[in-house]
Chains A and B, each alone.
Chain A
Amino acid sequence: MADGRRDGGRLQVDTDECKGCGLCVEACPPKVIALSERLNHYGYRTAEYAGAGCTGCGICFLVCPEPGAITVLRLKRRPAGAAEGASV
């Protein structure tokens, strides 16, 4: 990130909720999701961000059957100079 080039989006996965179905892996256009090697405590391999290039398109969120397994963040477009963030 030092060069200032940031991914357009970010993927967050709630590993308690993900059931490892793999639909997001299949659906992600730039193919930046993979299933983890580790199993969660229900025994599922859960989705995780693999590499760089998330666009924040939200397709993974749309195809995921679990209400809160995926959260997608998007890089804020803001006028140059404004620094304060508003993400929660």
Chain B
Amino acid sequence: MSDQTDLDYIVAHSKARAFYPTYERKEELQHQTHYCPGCGHGMVHKMVAQAIDELGIQDRTILISPVGCSVFAYYYFDVGNVQAAHGRAPAVATAVKRTRPESIVISYQGDGDLAAIGSAEILHAANRGENISVIFVNNAIYSMTGGQMAPTTLMGQASTTSPGGRTPAEGYPLHICELLATLEAPVYLERVALGNNKQVAQAARAVRKAIENQVNGLGFSLVEVLSPCPTIWKMSAVEAQRWIHDVMEKTFVPRVYRDRTQTAEARPAPGPAISLEKVPAMLGVAAKETPAAFAGEGAATAEIDWQVRIAGFGGQGVLLLGEMMAEAGLDAGLEVSWLPSYGPEMRSGTSNCHVRLAREPIDSPLVGHPHVLVAMNEPSLHKFGSSVRRGGWVLYNGDDVPPECERRDVHIVARSFTHLADELGDARAANMVALGAVLEIAQVLPEASVDHALGRLVKSPRWLDLDARALTRGREVLREWRGEVCHAE
């Protein structure tokens, strides 16, 4: 500063270091947050940032931002950031804290986010006593989406979805602090308000305490902040502040609902993760020294990306077929994914799974356009037949392809795998006949890997023997087919 007399002044309060100096969200708004004038989120952000500065934890803080007006918190806080799906912040915070116990994890949420769609996540995180700090900004409304009723909306309060005011037909305001205070695990629960200077100062202390508790390893802390939303409440900033004090806090009483900060013992840090080497023994499978280098003959460097869809009735072993491929792929050192998709029925009903085998990491386990479709029954062929890529393969468990499912741009192998398996001794081995054919097509899984996978997934010696023969039969079927007429031109 230029003024000579300023030399006698020191900076007592200024922007927290935990904020970025400027915000890159929008070219023309580098100095401004996106919040409306007088928005409580801004005040709470400052309290969080101040606490981070004071506790000296900026380099190990990870902020989980929600969906709601504060969705962009990561543009402002110069800390680690994760933006969670609506309501899921406490679950994400749990994962982050457990995998990085040295980090300080702050779950920042609105009342729609926490008390409506995320009510399960907050309840269970609190019940587990996760060592996280939750900052819960309650403005009694869904603000970002334009003012719909929230579980926290006051009785009689108008919203776009309760224009005549909330009535008992919409339930009653949900009291989160009171609710969580019925649980054993939480260490600290306090509701504060931003209704006047004194309350604002108390809110800042509470926010700091909730974060400090985590630094001290004490466990779950939550601060609920009654916070103004002048825009949706259709008030001036000053009126909104007064409304909190005069009206809102009659429903939501600010006070400490739980404070075991003095008596709580620091929770032991989670033990080190089990070493990978021990996992096979714990699962009762034989350990393998190293993942086999990919053994596909002569194909060690070729691109591999096989996408397979397998569909049939529940009970036809459709999921096991896919699991076998994935297991064998793992054994062969490939990247694999196996995504089962089935109804609640154990036997009848339909089921299908998506399998990918690749050399590069797999982006999505979903297989929309398979290279290979195994259709174990006619409905599956109807459902998925047209999704197969041109030049791909359809393996159909039936001797005749229904005319409407014929395609000239794919290879169609139609044989009753069920019948072939029956000839081998048990019709239920049809899935393995089909698998044999798939393996013969894809040619990326070495037989040894398939044997290993079979050994791991099939325990009964009778079935092991039958399945091995079924696999061989399936390979033969494909070779026979290759010698026959090719449907694809």
Contact = CB atoms under 8 A, between A and B. Distances in A.
Interface string A7-43: 0011000101101111100110100000000000010
A81 to B, nearest CB: 13
Contacts of B16: 67
A interface residue count range (under 10 / 10 to 19 / 20 to 34 / 35 or more): 35 or more
Contact of A62 (B5, B76, B201): B201
Main secondary structure of the interface of A (DSSP, over half): loop
A19 B37 contact: yes
B236 A85 contact: no
B9 A65 contact: no
A31 B15 CA distance: 22
Interface string B264-292: 00000000000000000000000000000
Interface stretch (B39-47, B102-110, B348-356, B408-416): B39-47
Interface string B2-33: 00011111111111100100000000000111
Contact of A17 (B32, B39, B46, B237): B32
A65 B39 contact: yes
Nearest to B32: A17
Nearest to B16: A67
Interface string A45-88: 00000000000101101111111101111111010000011111
Nearest to B50: A62
A59 B152 CA distance: 29
Contacts of A23: 38, 237-238, 241
B82 interface: no
A10 to B, nearest CB: 6
Contacts of B318: none
Nearest to B49: A67
Nearest to B30: A16
B108 to A, nearest CB: 15
A60 B154 CA distance: 29
Contacts of A76: 8-10
B9 A67 contact: no
B197 interface: yes
Nearest to A14: B31
A85 B2 CA distance: 12
B197 A62 contact: yes
Contacts of B33: 65-67
Contact of B1 (A9, A59, A87): A87
A16 B31 contact: yes
A85 B16 CA distance: 22
A67 B38 contact: no
A68 B19 contact: yes
Given A73-B11, A76-B10, A85-B8, A65 B42 contact: yes
Contact of B43 (A65, A84, A86): A65
B172 interface: no
A16 B39 CA distance: 17
A10 B9 CA distance: 8
Given A73-B12, A85-B6, A85-B8, A67 B76 contact: yes
Nearest to A73: B9
B453 interface: no
B32 A86 contact: no
B19 A75 contact: no
B45 A67 contact: yes
B6 A67 contact: no
Contacts of A64: 42-43, 46
B135 interface: no
Contacts of B49: 67
Contact of A86 (B10, B19, B46, B241): B10
A56 B12 contact: yes
B13 A58 contact: yes
6 contacts: A22-B236, A23-B238, A64-B43, A65-B35, A67-B45, A73-B12
Interface of A: 1, 6, 9-10, 14, 16-17, 19-23, 26-27, 29, 42, 44, 56, 58-59, 61-68, 70-76, 78, 84-88
Ordered nearest first, which 10 A-B pairs have the shortest CB separation?
A: A85-B7, A65-B42, A68-B15, A21-B38, A73-B9, A19-B37, A61-B13, A21-B37, A21-B237, A74-B12
Given A23-B237, A64-B46, A85-B8, 7 more contacts: A14-B31, A58-B12, A62-B204, A64-B42, A67-B45, A76-B9, A84-B7
